[in-house]
Structure 1
Amino acid sequence: MCTRVFWNGNQLAKLAGRSMDWPESTEPLLIAFGAGRDRDGGKLLDQVVIADNPLRWTSRYSSLITSVYGLGTVDGFNERGLGVHALYLQSTDTGPRDPARPGLHTGLWAQYLLDQAATVDEALALMDDVQLVMVGARGRDATLHLAIEDSSGDSAILELAGGELVVHHGPQFTLMTNDPSYDEQLELLAAHDFSHPSRDLPLPGNVNPVDRFQRAAYYQALLPEPGTERQAVAGVMAIMRNVSVPFGAPYGDFGVYNTEYRTVSDLTHRIYYFELTTSPSVIWVEFDKLPFGPQPVAINPYDDSLTGNVTDRFTPSDIGF
């Protein structure tokens, strides 16, 4: 599940919010990777998942990310202000493997772009010669689509249909949830003018992806020009809370995944805000003060002692990807 909202229309900061909805804990870690890290897009930890012509690279940029199961990246941004957010999309279809093209498994898709691109344009160019390959973990396939944005306000949505990359590129593409495909989501949104809210406009209240998409559009349109950075972050975080699912909500046949956490990426000032649903405290990290180096450093947001600015709480990590 999950929701992403990009607020690029205010004068203070370019802010990207996301919620993580899943039926169990994703065991998130906040990890800071330094530039110069070698990666193999054909390996899932020590397991080879693409044997023929895997994509390999050395990271150009440092990044601050949230991991999933310790296997890959689902959220974060890099030193140049490129943000990436991986959300679930059941209809994702990577198509048959073509060994003539370098293969990149979907669990490292977000990290590859953070490692190598400074802007949305550069990230899209990176995809020209790469083939995404489906990978599974914990009994579920990483059927993902990506929302990317940069500190200039540019944005793009990337999906895979029939093995082909489908891209919606432009600063107007600020919202993303899950199924159906983005084309269909935009058609459904156009049927109601949620971008011009009024007190009499009926507002979808369900937790399914279509209702969350439309509700996010409504509340994003209500955001006033902020007077401070704190107000700007509060505005985006309020939307992410609005589209969240109560913790512990049953999913079963209803298909509802509760919200584990929410994040806001300030791409202008390079500050990362993280709110664990079961914690009373929002924590944040100042990217420019992190001790980037050859070895990653990390924190576990389930550490109950974390509160406020946790930049100095990162410690060396042996994370494997």
Structure 2
Amino acid sequence: MCTRVVWPDADGAVIVGRNMDYHRDLGTNLWKLPRGSRRDDGVDGALTWQSRYGSIVATAFDMITVDGVNEAGLAGHVLWLAESSYGELDPSRPALSQAVWLQYFLDNFATVAEAVGWITSNRVQVVQLTDPVTGEVPTIHLALDDASGDSAIIEYIDGDVEVHHGAEFRVMTNSPKYDEQLALLSQIDGFGGENPLPGTTLAPDRFARAAHYVRRLPQPKTQLEAIASMFSVIRNAAQPFRLPDEGRPDASQTIWQVVADLTRLRYVFESTTRPNIVWVDLADVDFAEGSPPLVLDLGSGLAIEGGLAGNVSTKFEERGELHFLSLTDLRRLAAGHGAVASSRPS
């Protein structure tokens, strides 16, 4: 589920696109999160921080950051990886819950290199969280990219972190794990092999198509052309709506897509079930410390005729803090002490 592609040389700009593929609606909204926000790890509270950078993020259920970009041009993207295995929690090491994993990097770092340095020097762990509604336990990996064109793929395999760091790592999909994806790509014509470009929705095939087409994009003359070009690539790697496959009731389809200009700081969102595309220009957003977190309600805003469209940088509204799902929330649920706190209106 999901595809992410970086175009690092789009006439002087770095453009990144991603598909969100999932088998049900994620209740995604966009949030503006200011500098100076105080957060903790969502595990045991041992790691706390105050955000250095403001960010625009896309959430799942207003509880998990799954995509976003900060005001320094660092972006991140959460995708599914069935092979992910995070190991037993070691109290001597810093840990981040899956819900706040990406947000930590957007809050604290301006570049991929800074983020990778922190990961490797601190041996940070990731802690799984059970979906409080379905009982599903996500297995995810993370891509980071920045305004210099740098990139990193971060995976946890058998309890150990594997980081693929370098501008050459432009594409990421899902299973198998990343080094095996690269080996499969080397069998494709144009990447060292003789096999023709594949056409299915399987993750290795989407990986190959995205890698193939992003290398063949013409140089854009405008930002609009650059963004449209990236949409053409990620739409080619999208998964169409379909009936569930036999034995696979959770088969995914593309439910939304994002393209971000990391150089000129524009974040573009497109739902596959709504007619309007919206975007945020970060230069028009107040990220000052002390300013409130704001939400753009995509569920209602994109659904109504004459609703949200185009530049929505000034359309965000107050709804309190963004509450990230934590182990404490899940323990309260298990003990029968009520629902998980939410930023959603009742």
TM-score, normalised via structure 1 length = 0.92
Q: Post-superposition shift, 1:195? A: 5.0
Q: What is the aligned length? A: 311
Instruction: Find the counterpart in structure 2 of residue 269 from structure 1.
Output: 264
Aligned residue in 2 for 1:179 = 175
Pairing 1:132–2:129 present = no
Matching residue within 100, 111, 114 for 1:108:
100
Q: Secondary structure at the match of 2:314?
A: helix
Task: Give SS of 2:13's match.
Answer: coil
Provide, for residues 139-167 of structure 1, a one-character-per-residue CA deviation record: whole Å limited to 9, x for no partner: 22231111111101111110001211101
Say yes or no: does 1:19 pair with 2:22. no
Q: For residue 299 of structure 1, what is the amino acid of its counterpart? A: L
Post-superposition CA distance 1:278-302 (Å, at most 9, x none):
1112111111112335421111223
Match of 2:343 in 1: none
User: What is the SS of the residue equivalent to 1:295?
Assistant: coil
Structure 2's unaligned 5+ residue stretches are 325-346
1:317 counterpart residue number: 319
Alpha-carbon separation, structure 2, partners of 1:23 and 1:211: 19
1:191 to 177, 184, 187: 187
2:310 aligns with 308
| Corresponding residue of 1:46 | none
Shift of 1:248: 4.8
Identity over aligned pairs, percent: 41
> Which of these residues, 155, 163, 169, is aligned with residue 167 of structure 1?
163
1:147 matched to 2:149: no
Return the alpha-carbon distance in structure 2 between the equivalents of residues 153 and 10 of structure 1.
10
Given that residues 2 and 19 in structure 2 are in contact (C-alpha distance below 8 angstroms), is that contact kept between their aligned partners in structure 1? Answer: yes
Q: Which amino acid aligns with 2:25?
A: S
Amino acid at match of 1:152: S
Instruction: Write the deviation string for residues 229-287 of structure 1: whole angstroms up to 9, x where unpaired.
Output: 11111110111111111235425634630111000011011000000001112111111
Deviation at 1:310, TM superposition (A): 1.1
The CA deviation string for residues 67-91 of structure 1, in whole angstroms up to 9 with x for no partner, is 0111110111101100100101111
Q: Residue 202 of structure 1: CA displacement?
A: 3.0
Q: Relative to structure 1, is the Cα distance of residues 173 and 316 closer, same or farther in structure 2, using a 3 angstrom cutoff?
A: same
Q: Does the residue aligned with 1:160 lie in a helix, a strand or coil?
A: strand
Q: 1:249 to 1:240 in 2, by over 3 A?
A: farther
Structure 1 residues 222 and 253: alpha-carbon distance in aligned structure 2, compared to 1, 3 A threshold: farther
Contact 2:66/2:102 (8 A) holds in 1: yes
Note the C-alpha offset of 1:226.
1.1
Gap regions ≥5 residues in structure 1: 43-49
Larger CA deviation: 252-261 vs 268-277: 252-261
Distance in 2 (alpha carbons) for counterparts of 1:55 and 1:163: 20
CA distance in 2, matches of 1:211, 1:256: 16
